[in-house]
Structure 1
C-alpha cells in the first residue's frame, strides 16, 4: 500500500484533525483548497460543515483564500499544520 498524504487541521477548540488527502504525489500536487474544505466539511458537526464558504484556512501567515489554487502553491506539504476558523455572520444590515 502506498503513502497516504495528510494534513493536520487545528480546529476551533485547538483540537487536531488529521485529514487524509490522497494516495499519490501527483494527486497531492493537484489538490485544491476547495477539495480540502470539502473534506473538512464532511468532518464538521452541524451547520459549520454544511457550507464550505464559512470555512477559512490559514497556513503559516497566509490565508488560503483562493479555492481554485492548489495546496502546494501555498507551500502545504504532507503533514503540514493548517489553522481553521469559521466565519460567522454578523454586522449591521442597512
Structure 2
C-alpha cells in the first residue's frame, strides 16, 4: 500500500483533524485549496465550505483554484481553519 498524503487541520475548537488528501505525489502536487475545503465539508456536515477560511503559516489560502503546494503546504502540514464573518471593508 502506498503513502497517504495528509494535512492536519486545526479546527474551530482547537481539535486536530487529519485529512487524507491523496495517494501519490503527483496528486498532492495537483491538490487545490477548493478540493481541501470539499474534503473538510465531508468531515463537517451542515457547515458551508463558503464560510471556511484556511490559514497556513502567515498566508490565507484564499485562492480556491491555487494548489496547496504553491502555498508551501506539504505532507503533515498544519493548517488553521477559521470561519469568515460578515462585515469589514473590502480593499
Give TM-score, length-normalised by structure 1.
0.89
CA RMSD of aligned residues (A): 2.7
Q: Which ranges of 4 or more aligned residues in structure 1 deviate by more than 6 Å?
A: 91-94
1:24-75 Cα distance to aligned partner (Å, 9 max, x none): 000000000000000001111433xxx2111100000000000000000000
Structure 1 pair 19/91, CA: closer, same or farther in 2 (3 Å)?
same
Structure 1 pair 93/83, CA: closer, same or farther in 2 (3 Å)?
closer
The higher radius of gyration belongs to 1
Q: Which runs of 5+ in 2 are unaligned?
A: none
Between 82-91 and 56-65, report the one with greater CA deviation: 82-91
